[in-house]
Amino acid sequence: MTNRSHASASMVRLNIGGKKFCTTVDTLTQSEPESMLAAMFSGRHTVCQYSNEGYVFVDRDGKHFRHVLNWLRDGVIPSLKDSEYAELLREAEYYQLIGLMDGIKSALNKRKEEEEMGTELTRTDIIKCIQSERVRFRGVNLSGLDLSKLDLSLVDFSFACLKNINTLRANLRIVSRGLLSCPMVCGHDVDAEASNFHNATLRECEFTGANLRGALLAGANLQSANLQDSILIDCSFCGADLRSAHLQTADLTNANLEGANLEGANLKGAKLTNANLKGANLQRAYLRHVNLRDTHLEGAKLDGANLLGAIR
């Protein structure tokens, strides 16, 4: 058999409820070998053609059959409205496509979880919430919101997603539960452990005594921010702007500050055990009496830095 005749033999023309499709036997049989489509074109059965053009007719609505074919081709679940997912699920059940059925159900469950996370909160909603005596946004997705100039000092952001938020001049004075005390917050215990501040605008914000252990602050603007006495263990500050930031006595153990801009930052008494400062800008930074022995400083810029008494 020639290559041309072989290609012609493997091609399948389908008429699904009046909509015409062209595919191959391999597409219909290999991805889901236990499906009805695989059984039809496995060669075990005679399939009737209902036109001179050689189309095999299937009496189903062809609206979503392209999604069926794309699933068989590359295993990708399409992004659809819930009502369309319900229609596609019926087709998947008819064709006995178990993998597609499971994929649609997973997509619907994920969408439900995202809706329950409160992704539609607005700045107005936040303002109403923070007027309460005790506010908790634990695990809430607040990404992209404008939180500038708001008093967030008594808000619990534990495990929240704050990606791309704007907190310019917001009050984020935080105290770590059971680890530090700070009389300026009247004994209120607020945590931001493991929160996501990726690319957030945090310029001049107050984080005094914050528990930000494991938080993501990569690319964040923390210029002149006050992080004094903060727990910053395992935090990621990759590429963050920390110019003139106050980091006195902050615990930066295992923190990743690779490529961060710390020009003019005050690190007096900061703990930098195993911190990654590779390629960081530490020009004119205050590092007097800081223990740098276990700190990674390859490629860091230290021009004009105050290193008097620093352990290296």
Q: What amino acid occupies position 142? A: L
Q: What amino acid occupies position 23? A: T
| Nearest alpha-carbon partner for 231 in 289, 276, 278, 192 | 192
pLDDT of residue 120: 62
What is the distance between the alpha carbons of residues 69 and 80, in angstroms, rounded to a whole number? 16
**Residue ranges, the chain, pLDDT below 50:** 1-8, 118, 174-190
pLDDT of residue 116: 56
Q: Domains in the chain, start-ordered, CATH in brackets? A: 3-116 (3.30.710.10)
pLDDT of residue 140: 76
What is the distance between the alpha carbons of residues 85 and 87, in angstroms, rounded to a whole number? 5
pLDDT of residue 287: 96
What is the distance between the alpha carbons of residues 197 and 205, in angstroms, rounded to a whole number? 13
Answer for the pair 162, 142: CB distance below 8 angstroms, yes or no.
yes
Those residues whose C-beta lies under 8 Å from the C-beta of residue 20, and which sit 6 or more positions away, are: 13, 14, 55
State the Cα torsion 153-170-165-137 to the nearest 10°.
20
pLDDT of residue 151: 79
Answer for the pair 139, 119: CB distance below 8 angstroms, yes or no.
no
What is the distance between the alpha carbons of residues 222 and 148, in angstroms, rounded to a whole number? 14
